[in-house]
Structure 1
């Protein structure tokens, strides 16, 4: 029970920090090239984790390397695609779509690998996926532009969840994953110009939020089951949607409110189980 509570708590912290970081990345991508935003976000996060890994007592585990490298590459795909989606269309549509697609793969594999979690946690998983789906339904004049990018982001994040669940370390895999993302973006799409001055604060928010989300997800996955950790972490769209509603005035209609309440109900089922 204690491990389940730890996993749930770290997963929710991941959702809070990832959601805030995604909001910052989406805002930065409205005035800067998406590649540049992902490049700086990955570099700053990678350097932060590298410094912590070098200063801390955590040993380097070579068997973590392939999972961290491939996970970092898929994370970069997810982050790039999400920022494109957030910059092109409605944040309150793109973020939840990426969330539900990203949660579906690790939930399915978690059930396959780790077995039936019990009636209440299983009900929580199902209700949680429905809640994220409800939050992703278009409302009013929410623009569907960017929806393909949101779907691709979800696939990238789902692969990231699954691969990073296989590592044993914490800081070293996080550092390697973010530096791999930086190298991949730099190799495939080197930036032609720097960041506009107005985008710098948003990039800093994106980097800190993305780094925090990665760290808390790893802690959640190592504390408990992959499906539970991934589902709780996938509630990050709620943070993005709330920030878009508070700061940008984007509409938060009945469907999204119901989706958020459903997600809270799912957490209750998981916690009681």
Structure 2
């Protein structure tokens, strides 16, 4: 029960962080948003060392760094998709893909989900097809690119969950410190290579810092949850985060979906719920 509570809280915090990150990318370049938000998360992780002490072994830092690179690339793609697409479509697609991967990984290592969970995987694939359908004015190449970026981001987030779950016990907050150091370095180098500025646009810094801090809080909750429960369960519960993103997008931005997308979003959330219940 503790793992379920932690994972559910993690989902709520992730969704809020993604909403703030999406708002930030509509005001600033995505590289600046990702690097600065990840740096803010690193500062918080260092501040949490006295609360979550551990031993920084090579395995702990290596798995953490690998998960950090996967997560950073996912955030980069996800924020770009949020900036160019509809927030209440991008978030569920990303969540569905990130929910399916831990289940597939569990199957590969010997876990056997119930028929209900497998039914959720099938429903998730159908949901991606439905939620990707757009009205004629949204079927531009930009709309399709945001869908593809959402799928790739989901794969990156799923990889983050899987890789972080491989960290040996006793690492404390060190895996997340390793993850953040690697992610800031990797995305920072990409930004330099692409000639992109890391200076935030006016009015974006508050959203950037909020997204980074909340994202680290969510990462801590996920790490604690997966230490207390099965990855195939925790991973899909965490992937319920679009619920809070959708609520904020609807209330703050007034986003509306067409009928097919509404059905797709419903199937997406239903799929995640089925996978979790299995």
TM-score by length of 2: 0.84
CA deviations 1:153-205 (Å, max 9, x no partner) are 11211111110011123411112111211111112213525212311121122
Question: In the alignment, what sits opposite 1:173?
Answer: 175
Q: Distance in 1 between matches of 2:89 and 2:266?
A: 17
Residues 120, 270 of structure 1: 8 Å contact kept: no
2:233 alignment counterpart: 228
Uncovered stretches (5+) of structure 1, i.e. residues with no partner: none
Residue deviations 1:9-66, cap 9 Å, x none?
2222121111111111111111111000000111010111122125643333332121
Structure 1 CA distance for aligned equivalents of residues 112 and 191 of structure 2: 43
Q: For residues 120 and 230 of structure 2, what CA distance do their matches in structure 1 show?
A: 13
Counterpart-to-counterpart distance in 1, 2:214 and 2:68: 16
What residue is the counterpart of 2:131 in the other structure? 136
> Tell me, what secondary structure is at the counterpart of 2:204?
helix
CA distance, structure 1, for counterparts of residue 126 and residue 220 of structure 2: 25
- Of 97, 100, 107, 1:104 maps to 100
Conserved 8 A contact 2:131-2:262? no
Stretches of 4+ moved more than 3 A in 1?
Answer: 54-57, 117-127, 129-145, 252-271
TM-score, scaled relative to structure 1:
0.85
1:154 is matched with which residue? 154
Report the Cα offset of residue 120 of structure 1.
5.4
CA RMSD, Structure 1 to Structure 2 (Å): 2.6
Q: Which moved more, 1:71-80 or 1:129-138?
A: 129-138
Q: How does 1:56-135 map to 2 (within 5 A)?
A: 56-118=52-114, 129=124, 133=128
Tell me how far apart the structure 2 counterparts of residues 63 and 37 of structure 1 sit (CA, whole Å).
Answer: 29
- Sort the Cα spacing of 1:216 and 1:126 in 2 relative to 1 into closer, same or farther, 3 A: farther
Q: Deviations over 1:101-125 (max 9, x none)?
A: 2222211011232422445565666
Give the distance between the partners of 1:69 and 1:79, measured in 2 at CA: 15
Distance 1:12 1:252 in 2: 25
| 1:134 to partner: Cα distance | 7.7
User: Is the CA contact (8 Å cut-off) linking 1:92 and 1:136 kept in structure 2?
Assistant: no
Report how many aligned residue pairs link the two structures: 267
Equivalent residue runs for 1:162-201 within 5 Å: 162-167=162-167, 168=169, 169-190=171-192, 191-201=196-206
Aligned equivalent of 1:14: 10
Task: Give 3-state SS (helix, strand or coil) of 1:198's partner.
Answer: coil
Following the alignment from structure 2 to structure 1, what is the Cα–Cα distance between the partners of residues 96 and 53?
36
- Which structure 2 residue ranges, 5 or more long, are not aligned? none
